[in-house]
Amino acid sequence: MSNYDVVVVGSGHNGLVAAGYLAAAGKKVLVVERNAWFGGGVVTRELTLPGYLHDQHSMAHIFIQGNPLLKNDELKLKSKYGLRYVFPESPMTSYFADGSTLTMYRDREKTCAEIAKFSQHDADAFRRLAEQAAQWLPMVASTLYAPPAPMGATTAMMDQSREGRMLWKTTQMSTHDLLCHVFENDRVRMHFGRIAGENLVSPDEKATGMGVFVFTAFLEAYGFGVAIGGSGALTNALIACIRDHGGEVIADVDVREVKVRNGRACGVVDSHGKEYDAREAVIGAFHPHVLGKIVPGLDPVVAGDAAGTEISPVGCITVHAALSEPLKDRNGSPVRSVMNELLPDDYETMRRSFDDLRYGNFAQYPLIGLGSLSAFDDSRVPAGAATMHAWDYVNYERKDGKSWDDTKHEYADVMLKQIQKYFPNVTDATVKAYHCDTPVDMERTSPSFLRGDLHGIATTTYQSGAHRPTPELGQCTVPGVDRLYLVGPFQHPGGGVFGAGRIAAMKACEAMKIDFEKLSRN
From first CA to last CA, the distance across the chain in angstroms is 33
Give percent helix, percent strand, percent coil of the chain, each to the nearest 5. Answer: 40, 20, 40
Return the exposure string of 394-426: e unless at least 16 CB atoms fall within 10 Å of the residue's CB, then b: bbbebeeeeebeeebeebbeebbebbeebbebb
The enclosing H or E element of 44 equals strand 44-45
Question: What is the mean pLDDT of the segment spanning 435-439?
Answer: 97
Return the exposure string of 209-237: e unless at least 16 CB atoms fall within 10 Å of the residue's CB, then b: bbbbbbbbbbbbebbbbbbbbbbbbbbbb
pLDDT of residue 495: 86
For 62, 212, 496, the CA distances from 222, given in Å and listed in that order, are 7, 15, 16
454 compared with 70, residue with greater pLDDT: 70
pLDDT of residue 218: 96
Residues 422 and 408: their CA atoms lie apart, in Å, by 22
DSSP string covering 399-422: TT---HHHHHHHHHHHHHHHHHHH
As beta bridge partners, residue 261 has 264
Quick one: 239 exposed, middle or buried, by C-beta within 10 A (0-12, 13-18, 19+)?
A: buried
pLDDT of residue 507: 97
| pLDDT band at residue 415 using 50, 70 and 90 as cut-offs | very high
Residues 29 and 31: their CA atoms lie apart, in Å, by 7
Tens of pLDDT, residue by residue over 24-48, are: 999 999 999 999 999 999 999 999 9
Q: Would residue 239 be called left, alpha or beta, if left means φ above 0 and alpha means ψ between -120 and 50 degrees?
A: alpha
DSSP string covering 255-280: EEEEEEETTEEEEEEETTS-EEEEEE
Which runs of E-coded beta strand occur in 324-418?
339-343, 369-371, 386-395
As beta bridge partners, residue 270 has 255
The enclosing H or E element of 7 equals strand 2-9
Q: Angle at Cα 323 formed by Cα 317 and Cα 328, nearest 5°?
A: 95
Tens of pLDDT, residue by residue over 207-230, are: 999 999 999 999 999 999 999 999
For 59, 384, 388, 423, the CA distances from 325, given in Å and listed in that order, are 20, 6, 10, 12
Residues 277 and 303: their CA atoms lie apart, in Å, by 24
Asked if pLDDT for residue 49 goes beyond 80, the answer is yes
Tens of pLDDT, residue by residue over 154-189, are: 999 999 999 999 999 999 999 999 999 999 999 999
Residues 325 and 421: their CA atoms lie apart, in Å, by 17
pLDDT of residue 522: 79
Say how many C-beta atoms besides its own lie within 10 A of residue 453's C-beta.
27
Under DSSP, the state recorded for 464 is S
Helix-then-strand count for the chain, H and E: 17, 19
pTM of the model: 0.96
| pLDDT band at residue 1 using 50, 70 and 90 as cut-offs | low
Say how many C-beta atoms besides its own lie within 10 A of residue 174's C-beta.
19
Instruction: Check: CB of residue 317 under 8 Å from CB of residue 414.
Output: no
408 compared with 3, residue with greater pLDDT: 408
Asked if pLDDT for residue 348 goes beyond 80, the answer is yes
Average model confidence (pLDDT) across the chain: 96
Question: What is the mean pLDDT of the segment spanning 308-331?
Answer: 96
Residues 245 and 169: their CA atoms lie apart, in Å, by 46
Asked if pLDDT for residue 2 goes beyond 80, the answer is no
For 71, 82, 285, 485, 513, the CA distances from 15, given in Å and listed in that order, are 19, 19, 7, 10, 20
Distance of CA 103 to the CA centre of its chain: 22
The amino acid sitting at 291 is: L
pLDDT of residue 465: 94
pLDDT of residue 197: 81
DSSP string covering 186-237: HHHHHHHHHHHHTTTS-TTSTT-THHHHHHHHHHHHT--BEETT-THHHHHH
Tens of pLDDT, residue by residue over 89-146, are: 999 999 999 999 999 999 999 999 999 999 999 999 999 999 999 999 999 999 999 9
pLDDT of residue 200: 81
Closest CA to 100 of 327, 326, 329: 329
Which runs of E-coded beta strand occur in 345-499?
369-371, 386-395, 431-437, 477-478, 481-486
Tens of pLDDT, residue by residue over 190-211, are: 999 998 888 888 999 999 999 9
Closest CA to 74 of 145, 154, 149, 179: 145
Asked if pLDDT for residue 383 goes beyond 70, the answer is yes
